[in-house]
Amino acid sequence: MRPTALGVKAAFFFGVLVVAFLATPYSNLFFLLLAFLTVLAFLSLWWTARALRGFAPAPLALAPTPAGIGARISADLGAGRRDRLGLTVELELGPKQTLFLPAPMLSGETEWSACLPAMERGVYSIRSAHAATTWPMGLFRVRVPLPCADSIVVYPRPFGDADATGGGADDMGIGVAAAGAAQPAGLREYRAGDDPRRIHWKASARRGAPILQEWGSGRGSGFEIVLDRRQADGFEEALSIIVSAAQLAREAKETLTLHTQGLSKTYGSDQQPWDGLLHVLAGAEPLDAGGPPPPPAPPEAVRLPRPEAPR
């Protein structure tokens, strides 16, 4: 426990009153005021010290999130038998970056959640996590550590996902088709809510109504992608396409094998977890043009970045 900035100012004001008590003839008035402030200070110290006694929070849940939107954080903070007021969850991401997330009132077994600020792609290390409060008077501050993951994973937006909501089936199909890993699976009539970018214009002209092109993976054993990190042009687009392919493979209960410099792993059922792939894509960085080539892969594997990527 330590005093807050307000507490330091209150202590300075208390010292001024002590000097006034000793230096002026109005001793009775200043004595009563000093006595009142002393009682308030001890009560504030006692209340704040007890504010987090018996506090038993569950680990903070931080699921990987797409770049450009705020990651969702949640936990059962377990207030216990008494109400917890004025709590703040503090996440220290670096020496100069601390996030303050309010949890104003907790009672009993409380499921708390908050949204972090939007972040760019990357893996953000969490140095520490604490629950803190200055209740009730703001003169003292007490905090307790919170169990938490050691990082926040912000992976690339799925290909074509303008809203950064994690990618729907339409955007997944577009991304995988753009990578060359998908094949036409059929045509169907346009329905409300479909992505207009998937309209097959020739078929629509023949039938006189909007017709959509559907895409399939074209392979029953999953996707296999080679990411050459020596090619900086189109690198971010390549990462977005891989995310879309991963989401499509996950929905289809297939696998995705990624070959890139320093890595050759398969993700999916009975293989590496999907979150591991998102962690890899979140922290991926381009290499120098003279760097080592990616691991060998079958000829049918998709190569990224695509040759036609913008330069």
Alpha-carbon gap, residue 311 to 308, rounded angstroms: 8
Burial of 154 (0-12, 13-18, 19+ CB in 10 A): buried
Same domain, 223 and 201: no
**Which residues does residue 94 pair with via DSSP β-bridges, in sequence order?**
97
CA dist 203 to 191, 192, 208, 216, Å? 15, 18, 8, 18
**Which pLDDT does position 170 carry in this prediction?**
46
Instruction: Report the pLDDT averaged over residues 215-233.
Output: 73
Output DSSP code: residue 311.
Answer: -
Q: With beta carbons less than 8 A apart as the criterion, state whether 154 and 124 touch.
A: yes
- Which token pair is 177? 């088709």
Alpha-carbon gap, residue 241 to 238, rounded angstroms: 5
**Which pLDDT does position 80 carry in this prediction?**
56
Residue 43, pLDDT above cutoff 80: yes
Output DSSP code: residue 190.
Answer: -
Alpha-carbon gap, residue 309 to 10, rounded angstroms: 63
Examine the fold and report which residue of 195, 216, 237 is the final residue of a domain before the chain moves on: 216
Pick from 240, 279, 71: which is nearest to 162 by CA? 240
**Which residues does residue 115 pair with via DSSP β-bridges, in sequence order?**
72
Tens of pLDDT, residue by residue over 188-214, are 787 877 767 667 777 777 888 888 766
Same domain, 148 and 31: yes
Same domain, 309 and 161: yes
**Which pLDDT does position 208 carry in this prediction?**
81
Same domain, 8 and 58: yes
Residue 174, pLDDT above cutoff 70: no
Alpha-carbon gap, residue 88 to 99, rounded angstroms: 10
Examine the fold and report which residue of 155, 173, 191 is the final residue of a domain before the chain moves on: 155
**Among the ranges given (18-27, 61-70, 97-106, 217-226), the one the predictor scored with the smallest mean pLDDT:** 217-226
Cα separation of the two ends of the chain: 56
Cβ-proximal residues to 301 (8 Å cutoff; 6+ apart), any chain:
224, 225, 226, 257, 259
Cβ-proximal residues to 284 (8 Å cutoff; 6+ apart), any chain:
227, 229, 239, 260
Same domain, 29 and 78: yes
Same domain, 25 and 133: yes
**Which pLDDT does position 185 carry in this prediction?**
56
Same domain, 240 and 267: yes
Residue 179, pLDDT above cutoff 70: no
3-state SS of 144-183? Answer: EECCECCEEEEECCCCCCCCCCCCCHHHHHHHHHHHCCCE
Q: Which amino acid is at 137?
A: M
Highest mean pLDDT among 91-105, 169-183, 291-305: 291-305
Q: What is the pTM of this model?
A: 0.68
Tens of pLDDT, residue by residue over 102-141, are 876 656 556 777 888 888 899 988 888 888 888 888 899 8
pLDDT band with cut points at 50, 70 and 90 for residue 252: confident
Same domain, 115 and 191: no
Same domain, 6 and 123: yes
Q: Into how many domains does the chain fold?
A: 3
In percent, the amount of the chain with pLDDT more than 90 equals 17
- In the three-class reduction of DSSP (H, G, I as helix; E, B as strand; rest coil), residue 64 is classed as coil
Query: 240: domain range?
Result: 157-181+219-311
Same domain, 142 and 33: yes
Same domain, 133 and 269: no
Where in the chain does DSSP place strands (E)? Answer: 2-3, 61-62, 65-66, 70-76, 84-94, 97-106, 111-118, 122-125, 128-133, 140-145, 151-155, 183-189, 211-216, 223-227, 256-260, 263-267, 302-304
Same domain, 310 and 233: yes
- Which token pair is 257? 């094998």
Instruction: Report the pLDDT averaged over residues 78-89.
Output: 69
Examine the fold and report which residue of 197, 216, 235 is the final residue of a domain before the chain moves on: 216
Alpha-carbon gap, residue 16 to 8, rounded angstroms: 13
**Which residues does residue 128 pair with via DSSP β-bridges, in sequence order?**
92
